């Protein structure tokens, strides 16, 4: 079992492996956020993911509409943009934010189109 608490004192979110991310998805309070562009998402996404494009001018406004008490599982192509989005979310007061290490490129499980 992995530690659900922060694993790096220099970040305010937690980086997790694909297996840990998949396990976290089982939580009914967890929401998966794909922060890639719509074009990238069209090529496939993690089942149940909601797309909020980090590069969109309305990114932070879309985040403001989310429930801060939920658990958020973020990913992008490689893990870099989702780490940036996770940092933004925690600075806005979100407390349970997880970033998929390696992004969807590291996701060995089924995807939807």
**CATH number assigned to the domain comprising residue 36:** 3.40.250.10
d(CA 111, CA 113): 7
Give the residue numbers spanning the domain of 94: 14-112
So what's the pLDDT on residue 11?
58
| Sign, CA torsion 42/47/53/59 | positive
Count of structural domains within the chain: 1
The reply to whether 61 falls in a domain is: yes
Under the banding of pLDDT at 50, 70 and 90, the label for residue 1 is: very low
So what's the pLDDT on residue 57?
96
d(CA 44, CA 25): 18
The reply to whether 1 falls in a domain is: no
| For range 30-58, the mean pLDDT | 96
pLDDT per residue as tens digits for the range 56-111: 999 999 999 999 999 999 999 999 999 999 999 999 999 999 999 999 999 999 89
So what's the pLDDT on residue 2?
45
The reply to whether 46 falls in a domain is: yes
So what's the pLDDT on residue 37?
97
The reply to whether 8 falls in a domain is: no
């Amino acid at each position: 079992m992995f530690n659900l608490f922060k694993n790096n004192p220099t970040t305010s979110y937690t980086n997790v492996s694909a297996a840990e991310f998949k396990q976290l998805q089982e939580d009914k309070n967890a929401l998966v956020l794909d922060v890639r562009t719509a074009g990238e998402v069209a090529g496939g996404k993690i089942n149940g993911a909601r797309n909020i494009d980090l590069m969109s001018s309305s990114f932070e406004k879309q985040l403001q509409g989310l429930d801060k008490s939920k658990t958020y599982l973020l990913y992008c192509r490689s893990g870099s943009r989702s780490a940036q989005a996770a940092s933004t979310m925690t600075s806005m007061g979100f407390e349970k934010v997880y970033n998929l290490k390696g992004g969807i490129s590291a996701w060995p499980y089924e995807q939807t189109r």
